[in-house]
Amino acid sequence: MNRFVFTCGDINGIGPEISIKALNKITPRNTKDQFILIIPRNVFKTISDLITPEFEYEIINNRDSLKSIPTQVHILTIDKAKQKVGKPTIESGDAAFSVLKKSFEVIKGNYASAVVTAPVSKTALKLAGVKYPGQTEMFADWCGVKNFVMTFLSKKLRVGLYSIHIPLKDVSKSLNIKELTIKLNVIVNMLRNDLSIEIPKIAVLGLNPHAGENGVIGTEEKNILEPLSKQKFLNAKVEGPFSSDAFFANRKFKDFDMVFGLYHDQVLIPFKYLNAGKGVNFSAGLPIIRTSPDHGVAYDIAGKGIADESSMIEAFNSAKLILRNRRKYVRS
């Protein structure tokens, strides 16, 4: 039996809704697994009035109760949190952070095997005084891991990000061969251990238009990125740098197991275009398994009962696959 933690995300967004909707579809197909949804008790009551839970559940307020409860779904509640649906608030940021911290405690206490996190608002987190720019950085810090990579997974395309939540003007000066090599090694290990790809093939994208045009439109490619392809990565092939526009226009990504981009929108625009809200965010390089939908809090449709839970379900499917692959890799 495996246990999976679900977090409710921003309580003013669609997180609570897609969590219940996803569990409604997941639980009948995964009867040997158990699930823990962490959510403020009043928010669970509100969302249950909107989206009826179609699973049996037990409401608990202490993680130690997880030891003895056989019910398939456990609703682990935190203190009441004031909602203002459709807007980022101090209260929603504080509640999201409290739920995430609780989910990490559950994982570290060996009460569960993986965590699936609903979307949070960076604005709300900042309003609440949370120092982290996102969930990836949050879990990496709690795990004590410095070398990690935000990745996005789907059947059509897999991408990894060199830089995550930094201004575009800072990307160029952040590039260096040592850090690029570290992150590529994280990706190689993730592809082999978590996705069971024995000899991964990775494409590195260029920073400048036309991948620098031999130094005419920038020198980052010649000085920093081209030397990467000459390095040896354990049981992996690394190629590039490629000009981003031609690479995606010619669908070259089909020839690779992972595309490594240098900044957020470089790879997330094509990824989200191809996957239409059905991709998965995975934090590579962590000792724990943490996945998330590839979309945001969607304040504009929150509270209307019309949110699509597809990406939340895919996040669970990916977490389960990665868990199975990690156990297989350890046994081998």
pLDDT, tens digit, for every residue of 206-262? Answer: 999 998 778 888 899 899 999 887 777 778 999 999 999 999 999 999 999 999 999
pLDDT for res 233 = 79
Tell me the two tokens of residue 84: 């203002």
pLDDT for res 202 = 96
pLDDT for res 324 = 96
Q: What is the pLDDT of residues 177-203, one digit of tens each?
A: 999 999 999 999 999 999 999 999 999
pLDDT for res 230 = 76
pLDDT for res 228 = 81
pLDDT for res 214 = 82
How many residues are there in the chain?
332
67 pLDDT higher than 70: no
| Residues 152, 158 contacting (CB under 8 angstroms) | yes
Computed over every residue of the chain, the mean pLDDT equals: 93
Cα torsion angle, 262, 143, 2, 324, sign = positive
Domains and CATH numbers, the chain: 1-145+286-294 (3.40.718.10), 147-284 (3.40.718.10)
Phi–psi pair at 92, nearest 5 degrees: -70, -35
Mean pLDDT of 170-180: 94
| Residues 282, 189 contacting (CB under 8 angstroms) | no
pLDDT for res 278 = 86
Mean pLDDT of 35-55: 97
Strand partners, 3: 34
pLDDT for res 62 = 76
pLDDT for res 66 = 73
DSSP string covering 302-316, please?
Answer: TTTT----HHHHHHH
pLDDT for res 215 = 83
Q: Using 50, 70 and 90 to split pLDDT, how confident is the model at 332?
A: low
11 pLDDT higher than 80: yes
pLDDT for res 99 = 98
| Residues 280, 151 contacting (CB under 8 angstroms) | no
Tell me the two tokens of residue 147: 């070398």
Tokens 């030397």 found at: 227
Mean pLDDT of 88-103: 98
Strand partners, 319: none
68 pLDDT higher than 90: no
Q: What is the pLDDT of residues 118-162, one digit of tens each?
A: 999 999 999 999 999 889 999 999 999 999 999 999 999 999 999
Alpha helices in the chain (DSSP H): 15-29, 41-50, 90-108, 122-127, 135-143, 171-174, 177-193, 220, 244-249, 264-275, 310-331
All residues at 6 or more sequence positions from 298 whose CB lies less than 8 Å from its CB, including other chains = 13, 14, 119, 307
